[in-house]
Amino acid sequence: MTTFSLWINGKAVSTANTFDVINPADKSVVAACPQASEQDLENAVAAAKEAFPAWAEKPWQERSDLMLKLADAVEANMVELSELLTKEQGKPQNGFADMGAGFETGGTLAWIRATAGLTLPVETIQEGDDLTIEVHRKPLGVVGSITPWNYPLLIGIWHIIPAMLAGNTVVMKPSSLTPLTTLRFAELANEILPAGVLNVVSGDGGIGRMITAHEDISKIVFTGSTPTGRHIMKSAAGNLKRLTLELGGNDAAIVLDDVDVASAVGKIFATAFINNGQTCAALKRLYVQDGVYDAICEGLTEIANSVITGNGMNPDSDFGPLQNPDQLQLVMDLAADAKERGARFLTGGEQTNTNGYYYPITLVADIKDGARLVDEEQFGPILPIIRFSDVEEAIVHANNSPNGLGGSVWSQDIERAREIASRLECGSVWINHHAVIQPHAPFGGIKQSGFGVEFSEAGLKEFTSIQTLHVYP
């Protein structure tokens, strides 16, 4: 069994205690993971704090070049990283529409390289004989990164690459459910980066709480649940940490009756069930107008009946298991509530394989707002399909959520779709697609889906403070 270590101040650190990481496909132990102690965390923060001045003083291009070397290291180890992802997270190596572990490692590679090309030049907002005013961007110091279990490597990269590029040092804590790929990446990264720039500590939620409260950490970037985001806000108040919080989503899609059904159903299916539905910006509530409701249901059912759910290491598997038993139980509870309300199950609805945390692709029709499956984020392979007649009513229902991460409108009338999209209360809106993100397009939520943005120059700025320089001759 492979041995994993913490990474503190450029060195592998073993721990007195470990915990098991479970393969969700068969409930076997993938590896023993190091459990960081409070002292380990203190050492990691101290190392990051000590490394910060020299790292921040490095020329921007030198930091960018080191980020590109990290991308080269990922590329050279993609097979190993992809297999480790499948074993600890469950997603297939290839998967439906090639959006499995290979998609995550490939996205990691692309995101590092795209982010490494960003810059934050000095902005001159006034220039004259009497006064010059410049806006400079300065790194913050030590950044704490806390990542989730659904995309452990890719989301980690979203956090740490812009942070380090901007001149910050990092203390990172991966989810205790999926820490192994991150620890392996940290090993590769610490062969490239100066000691103390990237420190990774694994452990339970107690380590995360210590990070969010630590006085020497200047910013927290967190992706995860809304309740945890609230706790982080409270904990971070001690030294007024800056925060980027990407929290839960319950994305609504509005399908109009002029949609090209044949073109839409494949995209709807793929973006609802990407990563087995365990994606924050996946399509999670499907509102379909009367005229195409039956056709959309039939098209989605046909695809659902053609896919295979199984062990992610099996090349025939389109979808793997859910990542953990708690998530499986939530999906089963939401399905049970829908059945009690008389909803019509087009596919799935019953667990048939108990060797791992499996649940089949499940489509639920004839369901309404008020059902748990519609009102709550399911984060799994079950999709409610809600019929509507009046577009205004659909917009009200789409916006009637505490979340506001993403949304979409599906129609052949692009101008009409634009008008409806502009009225959706969410941070990202797609027309005739969903959940497609790009490294040059800002991404973030509103309402209880969090605040702050990731990606692009806007996301890079989140890891800096502004210093306005006034120059009088």
Residues belonging to the active site: 246, 280
Distance CA 139, CA 366 (A): 52
Distance CA 185, CA 12 (A): 12
Q: Which residue type does 118 have?
A: L
Query: Quick one: which H or E segment has residue 331?
Result: helix 325-340
Distance CA 164, CA 52 (A): 10
Largest CA distance in the chain: 77
E-assigned strand segments in 44-195: 123-126, 132-139, 142-146, 169-173
Cβ-based neighbours of 55, under 8 Å, separated by 6 or more: 63, 164, 167, 168, 169, 194, 196, 197
What residues does 243 pair with on adjacent strands? 220
Its sign, for the CA torsion 372, 378, 383, 385, is positive
- Asked if 172 contacts 123 with a C-beta cutoff of 8 angstroms, the reply is no
Q: In terms of DSSP bridges, do strands 17-22 and 29-35 run parallel, antiparallel, or are they unpaired?
A: antiparallel
For residue 445, which of 256, 295, 203, 243 has the smallest C-alpha distance?
243
Distance CA 53, CA 338 (A): 56
